[in-house]
Amino acid sequence: MLFLDRFFKITERGSTIKTELIGGATTFVTMAYIIVVNPAILSFAGFPLEPMTIATILTAVFGCLAMALYANLPLAVAPYMGENAFIAFGLAALGITWQQRLGAVFVSGLLFALLAILHIRPWLANSISFSLKQSFAAGIGLFLTFIGLYQTGIIRSGAQGMKPEALTLPSGLLRSPDVPVTLGNFHDPQVMPQVLLTIFGFVLIASLMQRKVTGAILIGMVVTGGIGICLGLGQPPTKVFDLPFQGAYTLAPLALQMDVVGVLKLSFLPILLTLFLMSFLDTLGTLVGVGSAGDMLDKDGNFPEVEKPMMVDAVTCTFSAMIGSSTAGAFIESAAGVKEGARTGLAALIVGLLFTLSLFFIPLVEPFQHLRFAYAPALIAVGLLMIGSMRKIDLDDLTEAVPAFATIVMMIFSYNIANGLTAGLILHPLMKLLAGRAAEIHPGSYVLASLCLIYYCFGLPH
């Protein structure tokens, strides 16, 4: 115990071993839903489900241990929400393979590490205005919500149910439906049960969050999935315990399958740029949010030794691509453990050990990955939490409001996170220049805007 106290500087930071253990366990419970949700989302991009579950857990284990032993911070690490949706749905129109998507994650991880070493990553992050950062979070939250609503049939394509001849042009190509999306067909007996369970699950999660119940999202998923299984809408677990890395749960179909060479071309620049922006903004937002919750920021509101957690983020991204998962980084749910008093890497170590233990109980959670009505409420609930950022956007200043507005609407209505990020980053310096306020533009804004223009001029915007 004395060794732990000295190594993690527990007493020095005003904590105790017991407090760190409780904080770590609390953080794990609040974010354990990622074991179900991340594989379920990435399966839409062709990633094999069972191996992806192993990859998700191993990414969390690696990231948490790195954060504990290198950065000594109570931040848990796992595959990001938002980034996984971008990889699964945002890149669908490009028709690229899941191996290329992993290659993009790997290259972006190397880029993260290089920029962290050169201290450029914090410089670029600080070049983005506060309002624009908030719009990124709000837009991604609404994007996740849209996915949850669409996947469960609460909303549907406007073309669904129409006769083929009504949508076919004389050339033989399909035309756009007059109404892009509509309310789901609630009279369909195949759709209605899923819709009702999704609504029930979301209301349950929201109620638990209102009561500040630890693990509200996880509890809501389990209860909703259990009810659905009892109603015959899914299969119950066939067993509770199983050994990982064998049978269906081998990592072989994913490990080292990333296509790095295939992404080293101009057309992939927007993908790399988007992963870069999303990851460093997520990490920055998490550091500020968790640091604020635990009074861990310095007098200027900055996170001390910020390069360390950013390096952990970068290395974990590279590792996650190698074993077959999406971009990873520090989770905002770490604030739950910090509010319990966790202040050191021992809490992150506990989270990593609990994720390791979960490797042996995958059969217990695997059925929930096939139940959209069980994990969709989690997507919607995460979206609810993220749109709170809209309150912090300066809507009275149009040089801030216009880029933020464009970011959010372009993410949603073009069904692509990259389009929103790039539109906002281009419009922000442009609006400042047109308003005669060039002095307010950070030099890094010109760099980011230039990269985004390359996306629209030479990339593959979609």
pTM above 0.85, yes or no: no
CB 335, CB 76: distance < 8 Å:
no
Q: Which tens digits make up the pLDDT trace of 362-384? A: 887 777 767 788 878 877 887 88
Please check the confidence at residue 280 and state whether its pLDDT lies above 70. Answer: no
Higher pLDDT, 397 or 267: 397
| Residue with token string 């690490």 | 77
CB 307, CB 118: distance < 8 Å:
no
Residue type, 42: L
Tell me how far apart the alpha carbons of residues 263 and 267 are, in angstroms, rounded to a whole number.
8
CB 132, CB 407: distance < 8 Å:
yes
User: 303 falls in which pLDDT band (50, 70, 90)?
Assistant: low
Q: Which tens digits make up the pLDDT trace of 110-144? A: 887 887 777 776 677 677 788 887 887 788 778 77
Q: What is the mean pLDDT of the chain?
A: 80
Q: Which tens digits make up the pLDDT trace of 223-235? A: 898 899 888 888 8
If we measure between CA atoms, which residue out of 332, 298, 330 comes closest to residue 314?
330
Structure tokens given for 109: 């991880």
65: CB partners within 8 A, 6+ apart: 348, 349, 352
Tell me how far apart the alpha carbons of residues 57 and 62 are, in angstroms, rounded to a whole number.
9
Structure tokens given for 264: 């080293």
3-state secondary structure 31-52: HCCHHHHHHHHHHHHCCCHHHH
If we measure between CA atoms, which residue out of 450, 352, 440 comes closest to residue 71?
352
pLDDT reported for residue 402: 95
Average pLDDT over residues 336-357: 84
pLDDT reported for residue 372: 80
Average pLDDT over residues 303-310: 75
CB 270, CB 460: distance < 8 Å:
yes
Average pLDDT over residues 83-98: 70
Map residue 75 onto helix, strand or coil.
coil
Please check the confidence at residue 462 and state whether its pLDDT lies above 60. Answer: no
Alpha carbon 288 to chain centroid distance?
17
CB 309, CB 303: distance < 8 Å:
yes
H or E segment to which residue 82 belongs = none
CA dihedral (91, 94, 99, 100) positive or negative: negative
Residue type, 89: F
User: 281 falls in which pLDDT band (50, 70, 90)?
Assistant: low
Q: Which alpha helices (H) appear in 152-258, and where do they start and end?
A: 164-167, 192-210, 216-230
Residue type, 128: I
Inter-CA distances, 341 with 210, 302, 331, Å: 21, 20, 17
Q: Which tens digits make up the pLDDT trace of 184-200? A: 777 888 888 888 999 99
Supply φ then ψ for residue 181, to 5 degrees. -135, 150
User: 267 falls in which pLDDT band (50, 70, 90)?
Assistant: low
pLDDT reported for residue 293: 57
Strands annotated E in 207-340: 328-330
Q: Which tens digits make up the pLDDT trace of 432-454? A: 999 999 999 988 889 888 877 87
pLDDT reported for residue 461: 55
